[in-house]
Amino acid sequence: MADLNIDFAGIKAPNPFWLASAPPTNTSYQVMNAFRSGWGGAVWKTLGQPIVNVSSRYGAIAYKNNKMMGLNNIELITDRSLEVNLKEMKEVKEKFPKHALIASMMFEKKEEWHDCIKRCEDIGVDGFELNYGCPHGMCERGMGSAVGQNPEVCERITSWVTEVATKPVIVKLTPNVTDITKPALAAQRGGANAVSLINTINSVIGINLETMEPNPTVDGFSTHGGYCGPAVKPISLNMVSEIANHPDFHLPISGIGGIETWQDSVEYFLMGATSVQVCTAVMHYGFRIVTDLIEGVNEYLDKNKMKSINDLCGITAKKMRKWEELDLNYKVIAQIDPNKCISCQLCYIACEDGAHQSIELVKDSRIPKIKEDTCVGCNLCSLVCPVESCITMVKVNTGKEKLFWANHPKNPDKTNEKISLKK
Ligand SMILES: Cc1cc2nc3c(=O)[nH]c(=O)nc-3n(C[C@H](O)[C@H](O)[C@H](O)COP(=O)(O)O)c2cc1C
Ligand code: SF4
Ligand code: SF4
């Protein structure tokens, strides 16, 4: 069986599955229960100056069978005192010395950062996570995403921390930026040992049409919140790949955002992460989901004859290219398996009204027919078909050489140089 132990930027843990800084890491009671259930690490709910929370504070988008496809919150950092948090964190570390306990924090002043770092090191935490991500409340006070959105400030505050911390420092990035590589590189310049991403995405989750009030409502009013859960995974995967592929970025990455199943976590590893963090799925289903994460990843590694998470790291990130580096002569077309088709005609409608009019209904046949000469291979019909593997995309041998945009006759800036890409 593969070995799931990790050394993430110097932080050792029995496995790469950590709880993200959020309500599941509010208390020692919860974190110890999580470790007993199998979680390898926990990032404590963000420490900072005293705050007060509002009520209510969560909203969700339900889609089909998932009641929390997307979760939105207007909660702030921990609402318990630093003393109580430190006492409980110490208790956890004493009972679970081999598990990773990370102190998340956000402060305004250098002295506050230094003081909290020292107190956390005194109780034996394994590392720090600097929360530059909260998109509401804290950013209005110059913290959270206000830091993550400004690379200069991100670098400066990171260096305040790294000049005193003796334990590894992870910078947690906000996705509410245009180019995620800028704050990631700033964190690296500031001396960080790793980055984690994403924190939550600016959002308004919805409106109650009876009352016309925004959700979640605080006495009839609301504020924009942070979006997370399964809906955000594609956004985070893209950001993780952008950082992993940046030629100047060399730090380990902890992937966060929409992880619910072992397959989700494998996608993050393939995109370049070497640990993952989970919040919404635990808030939805509890700590027990870690059993599926551990078993699934173990089996996947074994099946692929791999020994550790590091063997998976970044395999798919290397397959991400710029659009102009994709072969324009590669072609697939749709193919319907007549034995699986249930004649629902969803593919026909989708292609007719929403794509390229390349499926026809044939008289006296219940199976629609693909017009192979006009099908552009867009995938839409296979996406809408309700039957698994009924429509597949098959490769067409065009007999043509690879052709990239740089050499395409329609490109006004066409070069005569042939582009050759690494495998
Ligand atoms: C209710 C709630 C509170 C959160 N509080 C914090 C926090 O205090 N510090 C922090 O760094 N991230 C916080 N987060 C963000 C999560 O740690 C995580 O980055 C985000 O939810 C994405 O992961 P997910 O899709 O698994 O939920 C919070 C998220 C939620 C839903
Ligand atoms: S792949 Fe696109 S163009 Fe081809 S049949 Fe399906 S929907 Fe139509
Ligand atoms: S969507 Fe799938 S099942 Fe329905 S008609 Fe098309 S091929 Fe058949």
Residue 379 backbone dihedrals phi, psi, to 5 degrees: 90, -15
pLDDT digits (tens, 9 = 90+) for 33-66: 999 999 999 999 999 998 899 999 999 999 988 9
Q: What is the CATH number of the domain that holds 242?
A: 3.20.20.70
Question: What spacing in Å lies between the alpha carbon of 345 and ligand 3's midpoint?
Answer: 5
Residue in 17, 18, 19, 21 to alter for ligand 1 test, most ligand atoms within 8 A of Cβ: 21
Question: What spacing in Å lies between the alpha carbon of 351 and ligand 2's midpoint?
Answer: 6
Residue 329 backbone dihedrals phi, psi, to 5 degrees: -95, 0
* Per-residue exposure over 216-226, b if at least 16 CB sit within 10 Å of its own CB, e if not: bbeeeebeebb
Average pLDDT over the chain reads 95
Residues 327 and 315 reside in one and the same domain: no
Residues 128 and 155 reside in one and the same domain: yes
**Rounded average pLDDT over 285-305:** 98
Question: What spacing in Å lies between the alpha carbon of 353 and ligand 3's midpoint?
Answer: 15
403 found inside a domain: yes
Helix, strand, coil percent values for the chain (each to nearest 5): 35, 20, 45
- From atom 8 of ligand 3, which residue's Cα is the shortest distance away? 341
What confidence score (pLDDT) does residue 416 get? 58
Question: What spacing in Å lies between the alpha carbon of 214 and ligand 1's midpoint?
Answer: 21
What are the DSSP calls for 120-175, one per residue? HHHTT-SEEEEE----SSTGGGT-THHHHT-HHHHHHHHHHHHTT--S-EEEEPPS
**Type of residue found at 182:** K
Local confidence band at 227 (pLDDT 50, 70, 90 cut-offs): very high
Domain that holds residue 154: 6-319
What confidence score (pLDDT) does residue 111 get? 96
First CA to last CA across the chain, in angstroms? 31
Q: How far is 361 from 252, CA to CA, in rounded Å?
A: 53
Q: Which residue has the tokens 């059993």?
A: 291
Which of residues 319, 342, 358 is at a domain's end?
319
- From atom 2 of ligand 3, which residue's Cα is the shortest distance away? 385
Residue 148 or 350, more confident: 350
What confidence score (pLDDT) does residue 417 get? 60
Token pair listed for 13: 């843990």
- From atom 1 of ligand 3, which residue's Cα is the shortest distance away? 385
**Rounded average pLDDT over 202-231:** 95
pLDDT value at 418 more than 80: no
Token pair listed for 195: 């980055």
Which atom belonging to ligand 1 lies closest to the Cα atom of 283?
31
DSSP H helical ranges for 206-359: 233-244, 262-270, 280-285, 290-303, 309-312, 346-354
Is the distance from CB of 367 to CB of 339 less than 8 angstroms? no
Largest CA distance in the chain: 80
**Rounded average pLDDT over 8-34:** 98
Q: How far is 286 from 39, CA to CA, in rounded Å?
A: 11
- Number of independent structural domains in the chain: 2
181-189 and 151-162 helices cross at what angle (nearest 10)?
30
pLDDT digits (tens, 9 = 90+) for 163-185: 999 999 999 999 999 999 999 99
Residues 148 and 133 reside in one and the same domain: yes
- From atom 23 of ligand 1, which residue's Cα is the shortest distance away? 257
- The CB of 336 under 6 Å from ligand 2? The reply is no
Question: What spacing in Å lies between the alpha carbon of 105 and ligand 1's midpoint?
Answer: 13
What confidence score (pLDDT) does residue 50 get? 86
Is the distance from CB of 84 to CB of 45 less than 8 angstroms? no
Long-range contacts: 360-363, Cβ < 8 Å, 24+?
none
Residues 306 and 396 reside in one and the same domain: no
Residue in 381, 385, 392, 393 to alter for ligand 2 test, most ligand atoms within 8 A of Cβ: 381
Of 147-151, 269-273, 413-417, give the lowest mean pLDDT range: 413-417
pLDDT digits (tens, 9 = 90+) for 304-322: 999 999 999 999 999 999 9
Is the distance from CB of 16 to CB of 274 less than 8 angstroms? yes
Of 140-154, 162-176, 187-201, 332-346, give the lowest mean pLDDT range: 140-154
Full-model pTM: 0.95
Is the distance from CB of 199 to CB of 148 less than 8 angstroms? yes
Short-list 262, 268, 176, 219, CA closest to 54: 219
Local confidence band at 148 (pLDDT 50, 70, 90 cut-offs): confident
Percent of the chain, pLDDT > 70? 98
Local confidence band at 204 (pLDDT 50, 70, 90 cut-offs): very high
- The CB of 77 under 6 Å from ligand 1? The reply is yes
Which residues are registered as beta bridge partners of 170? 129, 194
Q: How many residues does the chain have?
A: 423
423 found inside a domain: no
Residues 244 and 267 reside in one and the same domain: yes
**How many of the other CB atoms lie within 10 Å of CB of 86?**
19
What confidence score (pLDDT) does residue 242 get? 98
Whole-Å CA distances, 396 to 25, 166, 399, 400, 405: 52, 57, 9, 11, 20
Q: How far is 315 from 286, CA to CA, in rounded Å?
A: 31
Residues 274 and 387 reside in one and the same domain: no
**Rounded average pLDDT over 93-98:** 98
Residues 240 and 382 reside in one and the same domain: no
pLDDT digits (tens, 9 = 90+) for 245-278: 999 999 999 999 999 999 999 999 999 999 999 9
**Rounded average pLDDT over 105-121:** 96
What confidence score (pLDDT) does residue 133 get? 79
- The CB of 349 under 6 Å from ligand 2? The reply is no
Residue 186's H or E segment, with its range, is helix 181-189
Ligand 3 neighbours, Cβ below 6 Å, are: 336, 341-347, 368, 385, 387, 390-391
Residues 299 and 362 reside in one and the same domain: no
pLDDT value at 31 more than 80: yes
Token pair listed for 47: 């420490």
List active site positions: 134
Question: What spacing in Å lies between the alpha carbon of 333 and ligand 3's midpoint?
Answer: 15
Token pair listed for 91: 């208790």
pLDDT value at 421 more than 60: no
Local confidence band at 419 (pLDDT 50, 70, 90 cut-offs): low
Residues 291 and 347 reside in one and the same domain: no
